[in-house]
Chain A
Amino acid sequence: MTAAPEQVDVLGVAREQVLERGVGLSEEQVLAVLSLDDDRIPELLELAHQVRMRWCGPEVEVEGIVSLKTGGCPEDCHFCSQSGQFPSPVRSAWLDIPGLVRAARQTRDTGATEFCIVAAVRGPDKRLLSQVRDGIKAIREDGNDIQIACSLGMLTQEQVDELVEMGVHRYNHNLETARSHFPNVVTTHSWEERWDTLKMVREAGMEVCCGGIIGMGETLEQRAEFAVQLAALEPDEVPLNFLIPNPGTPYENYPVVEGTEALKTVGAFRLALPRTILRFAGGRELTFGDLGAKQGMLGGVNAIIVGNYLTNLGRPAQEDLDMLEELSMPIKELSKTL
């Protein structure tokens, strides 16, 4: 008779591996974290917070985002209310330059250091890039030195170079989900095409912002797969969204991710990505409510989108700023990002 194998406690391992040595968890280890009983969530979040404090520091990066071009997208990302392929109530809209300048000013006034300009497109055309160029110029002429990020879909090398030349310092392009699940979510382009854009962005010297959405029918195994695929990319920032089941999209009847499941995901992603900026993004209002957002901030998250999102609304910025103050978490200053 052989003795049963000794159970290894993944949080104990993570304490030595991630907290002490800064080595992110493997896929198998992330899965073990995601599979923890709910009564271990406080212990997980405490460890994730320690990891974040040790490898990232106490500061929180605050960002605002705005949709420059809304709706009418030719792609079929099943979570997205801006796809022209689904009967979503979202209609096409373009934000004009004065509106963009106002949005950047509102964002700066919250104390944010990042302002991300987003367009619902497969990739930018000349008109869109020209609008981005004019917009950035106008924001600077307004005396606003906030750092500017863009999210304009898949890029060519020429477009990457053009964005660098415009002064865009970070580019967002989400892989959205695990490679094995991606074909269930998007059929009009591939995970690999997205990866190629991210590689070009990195090689051109822009910071890479790449995350995804939790709750799109992926298994726990695929969630773990996604975490380590992101880690392999070594992104500067990972925005973590929770599915908002928007009307008219194929996912409109998907359930909202449970708070406990979401907290385990937050903790697990921090343990897989000890040095990355891990940002709370869309969906946290539905998934967590007010209390959970605080738990997440004390569970490994060190960045936040304040105010509204692209087509959905967020909490008023001041509520999040008050929360950060209550948690004694300083907001990263612009001078420290330059």
Chain B
Amino acid sequence: MTAVYCGYCGKGLEEVDHAACTKRLRVIDPPRFCSACARRMVVQVTPSGWTATCSRHGEISSSA
């Protein structure tokens, strides 16, 4: 699956600068938007990981 959208803000990767998004995703945030279609995902954070589910593209997780 090719990443087209930012997992943090949901905007196109080519559209704006995502340096701040990248930092948030690296330090304290799981992805909230599907990188393929920018749909908001259902995210469950647990003590040791997270899962994020897109209704169109399925589940990704911290262990993947």
Contacts and interface: CB of A to CB of B under 8 A. Distances in A.
A308 B45 CA distance: 7
A285 B41 contact: no
B38 to A, nearest CB: 11
Contacts of B46: 66, 95, 99, 102-103, 106, 308
B9 A247 contact: yes
A309 interface: yes
B40 interface: yes
B47 A65 contact: yes
B10 to A, nearest CB: 7
Contact of B47 (A92, A93, A285, A307): A307
Contact of B43 (A91, A102, A244, A306): A91
A286 interface: yes
B32 A89 contact: yes
Given A89-B40, A91-B40, A91-B41, A313 B47 contact: no
A187 interface: no
Contacts of B42: 91-93
Interface in A71-93: 89-93
A317 B45 CA distance: 14
A244 B27 CA distance: 12
A247 B10 CA distance: 11
Contacts of B32: 89-90
A95 B47 contact: no
A292 B52 CA distance: 31
Nearest to A103: B46
B49 A308 contact: yes
A107 interface: yes
Interface residues of B, number: 20
Interface string A51-68: 000000000000011110
Interface residues of A, number: 32
Contacts of B40: 89, 91
A185 interface: no
Nearest to A94: B44
A95 B49 CA distance: 13
B29 interface: yes
Nearest to A64: B47
A93 B44 contact: yes
B63 interface: no
Contacts of A93: 42-44
Given A93-B44, A311-B30, A316-B48, 11 more contacts: A65-B47, A67-B44, A89-B10, A102-B46, A103-B47, A110-B47, A286-B28, A307-B47, A308-B47, A313-B30, A317-B48
6 contacts: A64-B47, A66-B46, A93-B42, A307-B48, A309-B45, A311-B45
Interface of B: 8-10, 27-30, 32-33, 40-50
Interface of A: 64-67, 70, 89-93, 95, 99, 102-103, 106-107, 110, 244, 247, 285-286, 306-314, 316-317
